């Protein structure tokens, strides 16, 4: 075993096939999209090279600018609405409470559900005529709303199930990180008179920075490239009020047959995700901690 672990050729043999698959499935499509983004093309006819005109046109496209703003709002909402509750639940569950396994499973169930199933469920909840949410408000004499048809309400209504679905996902990641902290550290803190709040802020959070970075990266990048749940709920409407770059990219390519403009949006999404990834990496300078 030691000979295998110390053999660089063995590393290459195991890693190279995966690299080839990853290169074919990820990098080549990105390169092709980059090429298409420099064209004016409907996917069938003659290709006309236009350089960076498609990218310049995006900066003047109100729908695109609105979609970028919405994706950034979702990224911020995900940090606040997912990571903070997930951290609280992870800290509480990691303290060996009664029924810890049951709670952990229940909170993770939404992650296991299909996005389409969740989208259809919330379509029924938000329905203006027979939806459960309007029925609930009716119990208190409040007027119901067209949650997915009102440009002022649709963004929050569409984002809520997205945030709700992945709280359990981040909770499990953070929970695993907290469980990796040696129990002796908490025991020593308790002997010194530290309460649960002090242990959480002065021991747990500082010692799981690397885990927090992973959760933050998944939350932000996932928000920037979100497509499925928004598409099921609103398809970006009404009037682009819930549009995000990926839904606009889809309609641009497959509805309006503008492959150049749609590919430019795809390149923007990749560049945006990479930018935020490197910003998070720079922000989280995790120190190597030895226990």
> 233, 97, 263: which is closest to 164 by C-alpha?
233
pLDDT per residue as tens digits for the range 223-237:
999 999 999 999 998
Strand stretches in the chain, DSSP E = 39-40, 48-49
| DSSP string for 143-203 | PP--TTT-TTTHHHHHHHHHHHHTHHHHHHHHHHHHHTS-HHHHHHHHHTT--HHHHIIII
Cα distance between residue 154 and residue 145, in whole Å: 10
- Residue 149 token pair: 């048809």
Q: Does the pTM exceed 0.85? A: yes
pLDDT at 95: 85
Length of the chain counted residue by residue = 291
Look-up: residue for tokens 């932000």?
220
CA distances (Å), origin 210, targets 192, 193, 280 = 26, 27, 11
Cα distance between residue 189 and residue 123, in whole Å: 48
CA distances (Å), origin 54, targets 51, 240, 262, 264, 272 = 8, 20, 9, 6, 17
Cα distance between residue 111 and residue 58, in whole Å: 34
pLDDT by residue for the chain (291 residues), tens digit each? 555 556 678 778 888 888 899 889 888 999 999 999 999 999 888 999 999 999 999 999 999 999 999 999 999 999 999 999 999 999 999 888 888 889 999 999 999 999 999 999 999 999 988 899 999 999 998 888 999 999 999 999 999 999 999 999 999 999 999 999 988 998 898 888 888 889 999 999 999 999 999 999 999 999 999 999 999 999 998 999 999 999 999 999 999 999 999 999 999 999 999 999 999 999 887 554 444
Burial class (CB in 10 A: 0-12, 13-18, 19+), 205: middle
Which contiguous run of DSSP H or E holds residue 43? none
pLDDT per residue as tens digits for the range 13-71:
888 888 899 889 888 999 999 999 999 999 888 999 999 999 999 999 999 999 999 99
């Amino acid at each position: 075993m030691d000979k295998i672990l110390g053999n660089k050729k063995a590393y290459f043999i195991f890693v190279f096939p995966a690299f080839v698959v990853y290169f074919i499935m990820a990098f080549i499509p990105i390169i092709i999209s980059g090429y298409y983004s420099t064209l004016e093309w409907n996917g069938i006819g003659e290709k006309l090279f236009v350089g960076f005109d498609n990218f310049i046109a995006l900066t003047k496209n109100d729908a695109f600018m609105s979609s970028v703003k919405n994706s950034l709002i979702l990224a911020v909402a995900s940090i606040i609405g997912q990571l903070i509750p997930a951290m609280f639940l992870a800290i509480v569950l990691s303290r060996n409470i009664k029924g810890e396994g049951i709670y952990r499973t229940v909170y993770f169930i939404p992650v296991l559900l299909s996005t389409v199933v969740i989208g259809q469920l919330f379509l029924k909840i938000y329905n203006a005529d027979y939806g459960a949410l309007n029925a609930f408000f009716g119990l208190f004499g409040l007027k119901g709303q067209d949650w997915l048809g009102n440009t002022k309400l649709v963004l929050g209504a569409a984002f809520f199930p997205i945030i709700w679905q992945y709280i359990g996902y981040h909770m499990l990641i953070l929970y695993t990180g907290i469980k990796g902290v040696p129990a002796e550290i908490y025991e020593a803190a308790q002997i010194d008179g530290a309460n649960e709040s002090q242990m959480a802020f002065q021991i747990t959070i500082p010692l799981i920075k690397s885990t927090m970075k992973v959760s933050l990266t998944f939350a932000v990048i996932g928000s920037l490239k979100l497509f499925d749940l928004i598409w099921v709920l609103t398809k970006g409407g009404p009037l682009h009020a819930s549009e995000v770059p990926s839904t606009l990219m889809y309609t641009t390519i497959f509805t309006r047959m503008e492959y150049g403009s749609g590919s430019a949006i795809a390149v923007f999404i990749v560049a945006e995700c990479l930018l935020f990834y490197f910003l998070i990496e720079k922000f989280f300078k995790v120190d190597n901690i030895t226990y």
